[in-house]
Amino acid sequence: MNKLLVAGLPGSGKTHLILSLMAWVKAQGISPAAFKPFEVAGIAHNATETPTDGERYAQMMSGEPLSTLINPYIANEDYPVELAFRRDGIKMQPKLLADRQQILLENYGCLFVELPAGLAQPISETQDSLDWALEQEASILYLIRPGTEPFTETLLEIARLKASGANFMFAFSNASDLKDGDWIFYQWEKLEAAAAQQAEGMLPHQKDPQKLVQGMDQYLPKLTGLLLDKG
């Protein structure tokens, strides 16, 4: 597998997971890249002097790539992608996005693509996040943060993924350190039923993405095998 799309609701931990997977892939001798085509809340990043996700990804990549290669569209305000882009006069160009991804695929061993939060998030008048994802013809990993994300909305998202015919897997990230085993098991059971497949696994509570690297084979065994072309 040389390209993986990472999806999930707001706060699911997509960026955290991608940084962890990039570190894990580097430890296997593979040069990773990441791509976040749609970004909002640029003003907030500037105000707090925090790096954008594109800048954080660039730090994990060889060759010192420009963050604009990784993060081609950044809107100023924190609105859904379509509205944020409209207010800034940003016109999304599908060819530009395809060309940027091709550059990354040609220069790196694998590519992680972070999707906007929520599969139903509009990115244009005619497309939402899942529509765009399906055009990419790549596997999707849907990440769930139990105890933080709305359970019913997660069920709907998983059901829509299943109905779409997408090649997907889903996993949990216990970033909020939920300790209610019954609640975790209930969500796990219901989401597996909605997906008609087993969950990939669960990442433990760990704020530092680098510290997830050592156990990644145990946390997400199918995914790590696919990244090494073993599964």
The per-residue pLDDT of the chain, averaged, comes to: 92
Whether pLDDT at 231 is above 60: no
pLDDT value, residue 166:
96
Closest by Cα among 19, 2, 3 to 212: 19
Angular region, 196: left φ>0, alpha ψ -120 to 50, beta rest = left
What is the enclosing helix (H) or strand (E) of 24?
Answer: helix 14-27
What are residue 139's phi and psi, to 5 degrees? -70, 150
Across the chain, the runs of DSSP E, i.e. the strands, are: 3-8, 32-35, 38-39, 73-74, 110-114, 139-144, 168-173, 202-203
pLDDT digits (tens, 9 = 90+) for 6-64: 999 998 999 999 999 999 999 999 999 999 999 998 887 777 777 888 889 999 999 99
Closest by Cα among 199, 196, 194 to 184: 199
- Segments making up each domain of the chain, as ranges: 3-227
What are residue 149's phi and psi, to 5 degrees? -80, 145
Output the DSSP codes for 178-221.
Answer: ---HHHHHHHHHHHHHHHTS----EE-S-S-GGGGSTTHHHHSH
pLDDT digits (tens, 9 = 90+) for 84-133: 999 999 999 999 999 999 999 999 999 999 999 999 999 999 999 999 99
- The stretches of 94-145 forming alpha helices (DSSP H) are 94-107, 129-135
Write out the CATH class of domain 3-227: alpha beta
**Strands 32-35 and 110-114: what pairing?**
parallel
pLDDT digits (tens, 9 = 90+) for 200-221: 999 987 878 778 888 899 999 9
CA gap 104, 175 in Å, rounded = 29
Global pTM value: 0.93
